[in-house]
Amino acid sequence: MLVFLFVICLIVGIIMLSSPEMKRNPQGKLIPFGVMFLSFIFLVASMVRLVPPGNVGVVIVFGKVQETTLKNGLHLVNPFASVEKMSIRTEEYTMSGMPREGQVKGDDAIEALTSEGLMVRLDVTVWHKLVPEGAAEVYSTLGLNYVDKIVRPAARTSIRNIISNYKVEDIYTQNREAVSIQISENLRAAVKDRNVEIERVLLRDVKLPAKVQNEIDAKMAAKQEAEKMEFVLDKEKREAERKAVEAKGVSDYNKIIAQSLSGSYLQWYYIKTLQQLVNSPNNTVIVTPFDQKLTPLLNIPTGGGK
């Protein structure tokens, strides 16, 4: 648009300068010179291009893509050139079975066969970015939708190829990270000549066949039940050990008490108790039986009678 304004203003200025009226009135030449100066401003403005951060600019002149790309910032280019901006930031491409989650609306999960011939469904995200130096070639050979043409089909192929080498339990358990790394390496090699860099492939979710899922759930339930039973048995064992220690302590205590109850101790304790009763403020007469050794004759029941 600015280029056309430049051309129009330049033509108008030249026509005004060459008109007979301007020749007869030299002072009127200020107007055509002003128009030509305005055309120069339009020319300079049409040459300025701004490439925002995280992007490169692909220069196109009369339909031909230039090999040199523009980095972010201000640039002066051919006024007749157009600049197509392409992101070089890390982008994500998600293929998911959840509606409105991935780039393709609806169910876009990847179905793949394991080494046992079982079908699994995978939700996957691919982190990728455009190689800045190859932006012009990508635009020339693939266009702006290079992700749909290169990343998507290559990712789906790599995932199916790698999954076919693993069993279901490898994909579902701790080996899942190793599977993800191998898929990333395979995809990286597949697109290395297309100026697209693959950073990582994430296996976000794995949906197993119903039969396999039921078997896994049953196995996990049995494992949890076994762990629960082991906990109960361990608790009972510790309780039994605690009771045994407690019983031994009571037995030892009784033995010590029995050894300390000698005749002399009982006589002393008997006299001391009587002394306390005599000194009591209550006027009470207590008659207790005793033998010649002053041992209290206490009728201690040994059986279950009264």
Residue 297 has pLDDT above 60, yes or no: no
State how far the Cα of 108 lies from the Cα of 124, in Å rounded to an integer: 10
* Single-letter amino acid, residue 179: V
Percentage of the chain lying above the pLDDT 70 cut: 64
What is the structure's pLDDT at 298? 45
What is the structure's pLDDT at 153? 94
pLDDT in tens, 242-284: 888 888 777 777 777 777 666 666 677 777 776 666 666 664 5
pLDDT in tens, 158-170: 999 999 998 887 8
Domains and CATH numbers, the chain: 2-87 (no CATH), 91-213 (3.30.479.30), 258-299 (no CATH)
What is the structure's pLDDT at 303? 46
Question: Whole-number mean pLDDT of the chain?
Answer: 78
First and final CA of the chain: distance in angstroms? 122
**What is the Cα 50 distance to its own chain's centre?**
36
What is the structure's pLDDT at 82? 87
Angle at 211 between CA 206 and CA 215, to 5 degrees: 90
pLDDT in tens, 198-227: 999 998 888 876 666 566 656 666 666 677
pLDDT in tens, 87-134: 999 999 999 888 778 778 878 889 898 888 888 888 999 999 999 999
CB-CB contact of 140 with 197 (8 Å): no
User: Token pair for residue 246?
Assistant: 């407690």
CB-CB contact of 69 with 178 (8 Å): no
Beta bridge partners of 122: 110, 206
Residue 244: partners with Cβ closer than 8 Å, 6 or more residues away:
none
What is the structure's pLDDT at 158? 94
Report the predicted TM-score, pTM, of the whole model to 2 decimal places: 0.60
Residue 287 has pLDDT above 90, yes or no: no
Angle at 155 between CA 152 and CA 156, to 5 degrees: 85
Please give the full DSSP string across 228-264, using - where no structure is assigned: HHHHHHHHHHHHHHHHHHHHHHHHHHHHHHHHH--HH
State how far the Cα of 54 lies from the Cα of 20, in Å rounded to an integer: 55
